[in-house]
Every structure is written in C-alpha cells, then in structure tokens.
C-alpha cells in the first residue's frame, strides 16, 4: 500500500529534477553535522536546529530558465570573502545571508561543508 500523502522532498523537486542530486549531496553534508530538521515550504527547503541556518531553492522556479539548478543560502555572522558567493546581503545587523549557485553535486566541497558547519553551530 502506498502512502497517499507523498514525499514532500520529491514533490518539491518535481519539474526541477536537475536540482535533486545536488540537494541530496547538500542534505548529506548537512546531516553529517548532527541532528537537523528539514522544513519543506513552497519556495525552499530549510535546514534548522533551534533556528534555520541554511536554505535550498531553485531560481528557475521564480526567474525562468537558465539559472543554476540550485542555490544554497547560508546565514553567517560575518561577511565571507570567498569569490564563490553569487550575492551577500545583510538583512539585519550582524546577520549576513550568503547565496551560492550550485550546478553539480561535487560543488558540495570542503568550503561548502565549512560554511554550513559554521552556520549549524550558530543555530544551536
């Protein structure tokens, strides 16, 4: 007997299949840090501890085709100097949102793991 509710993660990625393997690699890296809650919304999947610390979303859903399959947004208490960031904004004093375009699972590298570990620690 199948579950009539469905899988929220699979539903989220329907129509954006190129983003799914990247997300799966990201999820594996996040979950390797310790306990984490995933929340699937209409526009993004958030990774949470006490508070959300990272978000995954698909820009093509909102901006039309031709963008990176997945964007990782990470909340840090500092502005990171890496040139890999697509955009960094400071929505509140001392809270910097870093947006990273991801095109392949192997882009979840040591830098990305370090950034999500930093954000994970802040969210405790």
Q: Which two tokens stand for residue 68?
A: 């990176």
Q: Which two tokens stand for residue 56?
A: 């995954």
Q: Are strands 37-40 and 45-48 parallel, antiparallel or unpaired?
A: antiparallel
Residue-wise pLDDT tens digits, 8-38: 999 999 999 999 999 999 999 999 999 999 9
- The more confidently predicted of residues 60 and 115 is 115
The length of the chain, given as a count of residues: 124
pLDDT of residue 2: 38
Q: Phi, psi (5° rounding) for residue 34?
A: 140, -165
N- to C-terminal Cα separation, the chain: 39
Domain assignment present for residue 3? The answer is no
Q: Which of 38, 50, 53 is nearest to 116 (CA)?
A: 53
Residue 2 belongs to some domain of the structure: no
Predicted confidence (pLDDT) per residue in 57-107, tens digit: 999 888 888 899 999 999 999 999 999 999 999 999 999 999 999 999 999
For residue 77, is it within any domain? yes
Q: Does residue 36 lie within any of the structural domains?
A: yes
Residue 1 within a domain: no
How many Å apart are CA 95 and CA 110, to the nearest integer? 22
CA distance 89 to 124: 22
Please give the Cα distance from 64 to 92 (Å, whole number). Answer: 29
Q: Specify the 3-state DSSP secondary structure of 57.
A: strand
Domain count, the chain: 1
Range of the domain at 34: 8-122
- In the predicted structure, residue 3 carries a pLDDT above the cut 60: no
């Amino acid at each position: 007997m199948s579950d009539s509710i469905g899988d929220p993660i699979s539903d989220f990625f329907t129509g954006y299949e190129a983003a799914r393997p990247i997300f799966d690699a990201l999820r594996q890296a996040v979950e390797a840090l310790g306990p984490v809650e995933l929340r699937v919304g209409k526009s993004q999947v958030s990774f949470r501890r006490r508070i959300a610390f990272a978000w995954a979303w698909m820009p093509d859903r909102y901006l039309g085709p031709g963008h990176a399959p997945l964007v990782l947004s990470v909340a840090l208490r500092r502005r990171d100097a890496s040139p890999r960031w697509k955009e960094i904004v400071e929505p509140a004093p001392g809270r910097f949102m870093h947006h990273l375009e991801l095109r392949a699972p192997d882009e979840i590298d040591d830098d990305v793991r370090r950034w999500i570990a930093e954000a994970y620690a802040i969210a405790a």
